[in-house]
Amino acid sequence: MIVPRGLLALVPAALLLPAAQATPLVYREESATATAAAPTTTVIHDWAAGWATGFPVHSSCNATLRTQLQQGLDEAITMAAHARDHLLRWGEDSPFVQKYFGKNSTAEAIGWYERIVAADKTGIWFRCDDPDQNCATQAGYGGHWRGSNATKETVICPLSFSTRRFLNSMCNLGYTVAGSPLNTFWATDLIHRFLHLPPIAEDVVGHAAEGYNDVLEVAKTSPTESVRDIHALQYFAADVYAYDIAAPGVGCTGEAAEEEEQTATSTTTATPSATSAAAKVRREPDTHSSSRNKYNVRS
Ligand SMILES: *[C@@H]1O[C@H](CO)[C@@H](O)[C@H](O)[C@H]1NC(C)=O
Ligand SMILES: *[C@@H]1O[C@H](CO)[C@@H](O)[C@H](O)[C@H]1NC(C)=O
Ligand SMILES: *[C@@H]1O[C@H](CO)[C@@H](O)[C@H](O)[C@H]1NC(C)=O
């Protein structure tokens, strides 16, 4: 129906509505005289509409890559959920809590783990192509946050698929929490990647410590930073998962690698400039190079 603009006001409203919308009007007229007619329009406030709790895997991941990445994502959520639960059960009575987060409120750390588990993930993508050509050009990249190119997107490079371990090997194959790279497991690596995404970390979580020994030091001197430090959140999650779940009552904390101090240098390239100190910390390039440096805790 073509109606000149000026005449629109003269056309009965029902005629302008698509059939599906016009129908209730008719129905209401007919049922007006009927007794006990069901309400024709029930307005339901679906407060949770559109709540995406899982991390979306992009169509660039083929069937096999998707299977592997999805298991990694699931395990990362399992690990974050356990870290949250350990904090809820034990609070500051836990030696792990004191060790990684010092003496202060546990609520913030609980909140970051819970945001990983249940925050809305709409708009986030984990992708397997290489839109910024970092996988192709940067040796040792296991993946990277797309930064200013796409703040909600993370690229996972082929290297991750051939090197990251699943949690069923936790505490096996020589792994120790203190002595092995944080990106040994899909779960710990992906927790790191989650915490660079603004929809998860709300521009608050960042890097305050560099490596295992430094994390323990910051917990003693500046616990308010520990609860929003990516490495502290990763180490705590790995340590309590190992001790509570993988090897109950035993764990595999181990000891920090001696060369940690010397080798924990950045192997990453520049990313978008940041203004505030906090943003600088957060935006620190996190391209997750991995196997090149055995103790590359930043990666
Ligand atoms: C998916 O991509 C990987 C890496 O390119 C490739 O090795 C694998 O064969 C592909 N799988 C399918 C089902 O196409
Ligand atoms: C805990 O954090 C609060 C808020 O930053 C701070 O004022 C307080 O001194 C901290 N407590 C300890 C024991 O560090
Ligand atoms: C963003 O895209 C540009 C152009 O493709 C690329 O040079 C740059 O490395 C990308 N940034 C990141 C963080 O990958």
Q: Residues lining ligand 3, CB < 6 A?
A: 132, 134, 144, 146-147, 149, 271
Task: Please report the atom of ligand 2 found closest to the CA of residue 102.
Answer: 14
Among all ligands shown, which has an atom nearest to the Cα of 69? 1
**Reported pTM:** 0.77
User: For residue 186, what are its two tokens?
Assistant: 């899909």
Among 274, 273, 269, which residue's Cα sits nearest to residue 286? Answer: 269
Give me the pLDDT at residue 285, please: 41
Give me the pLDDT at residue 42, please: 77
- Between residues 260 and 288, which one has the greater pLDDT? 260
Distance 70 CA to ligand 1 centre (A): 15
Helix H segments across the chain? Answer: 13-16, 19-31, 63-90, 95-101, 107-118, 134-137, 158-163, 186-194, 198-201, 212-221, 223-226, 230-241, 260-263, 277-283
131 by Cβ neighbours in 10 Å (0-12 / 13-18 / 19+) ranks as middle
Among all ligands shown, which has an atom nearest to the Cα of 151? 3
To the nearest whole number, what is the mean pLDDT of the chain? 81
Distance 107 CA to ligand 1 centre (A): 42
Task: Report the residue count for the chain.
Answer: 299
Q: Residues lining ligand 1, CB < 6 A?
A: 62-65
Gap between the Cα atoms of 177 and 253, Å rounded: 5
Give me the pLDDT at residue 214, please: 96
Task: Please report the atom of ligand 3 found closest to the CA of residue 271.
Answer: 13
Q: Atom 8 (ligand 1): residue with closest C-alpha?
A: 64
Give me the pLDDT at residue 38, please: 58
3-state class (DSSP) for residue 57: strand
| DSSP state for residue 253 in the 8-state scheme | -
pLDDT digits (tens, 9 = 90+) for 270-284: 333 333 333 333 333
Gap between the Cα atoms of 70 and 75, Å rounded: 9
**Mean pLDDT value of segment 191-210:** 96
- What is the CATH T-level fold of the domain 63-167+181-238, as seen in this structure? Collagenase (Catalytic Domain) (3.40.390)
Among all ligands shown, which has an atom nearest to the Cα of 284? 3
Q: What angle do CA 179, 184, 185 make, to 5 degrees?
A: 130
